[in-house]
Amino acid sequence: MDLMLNFDGLVLLLTGLLAIFMIYQFLTWQKKEETSGIWNIYYSVGFLVLLVAGLLLIIFGWGALANNFVAVVGGLIPFSLATGLISRFYPKYEKMYLILMVIGLVLITVTRYGNMVSLGKIVYPVFHAIAGLTIFFIPILVCKGKKVQKGFGMVTIGGTLIGLGGIALAFLKAGKQLLFFSQEFVIMILAPLLFFMTLFFALGFMKGKNK
């Protein structure tokens, strides 16, 4: 056990508290007719996984990133948020998109635990890219279409941050480096990246809570 009792640990703790706040908000909105919808559940799952992942990192240190379980469950964060966005704004595609994300999660699990390195180099980046692009573009489109307040566009910023972090980690796992994202650099920025990602998600979802 490598308990984080430093700056990174504090930032991850703040990230966890913010995640708890948002889970509470989603569950509260789910109880009200004007803000209810299955997307609140999808969003809650994403933030719950973020909370658990942050706590695991605090307890076990950055070495936990190499753990197959953490890597697989971590995929639930973008997959759940992306599915929630599809569910809310493009409901007719919800089932198809959910099936796609489940397939992605299953394939990531199989490649991780089956030690299928070559296949994993393809599967992990591809499905994370699909979820990341969904989180990036949908807020822009719905804001442009005036379906929600412009502040909802901050979800796109959160999606950009989670996309950069996820892709960088995927390249590192594959033994390659994305641009200047060396292992040392990724570890240095990961805790602040997770915090600001969560912050922008929170600000965006708060602005776009109404139907």
pLDDT in tens, the chain (211 residues): 555 668 888 999 999 999 999 999 999 999 998 889 999 999 999 999 999 988 888 888 877 777 778 778 888 899 999 999 999 999 999 999 999 999 999 998 898 888 777 777 788 778 888 998 999 999 999 999 888 888 999 999 998 888 777 666 665 565 555 555 566 777 777 888 889 999 999 999 998 766 5
- The confidence score (pLDDT) of residue 179 equals 58
Long-range CB contacts (within 8 A, 24+) of 133-138 = 133/163, 134/82, 134/85, 134/86, 134/97, 134/159, 135/78, 135/81, 135/82, 135/85, 135/159, 135/162, 135/163, 136/160, 136/163, 138/85, 138/86, 138/89, 138/90
Residue (of 208, 201, 189, 204) closest to 11 by Cα position: 189
pLDDT at 4: 62
Entry pTM: 0.89
Chain centroid to CA 59: how far?
Answer: 20
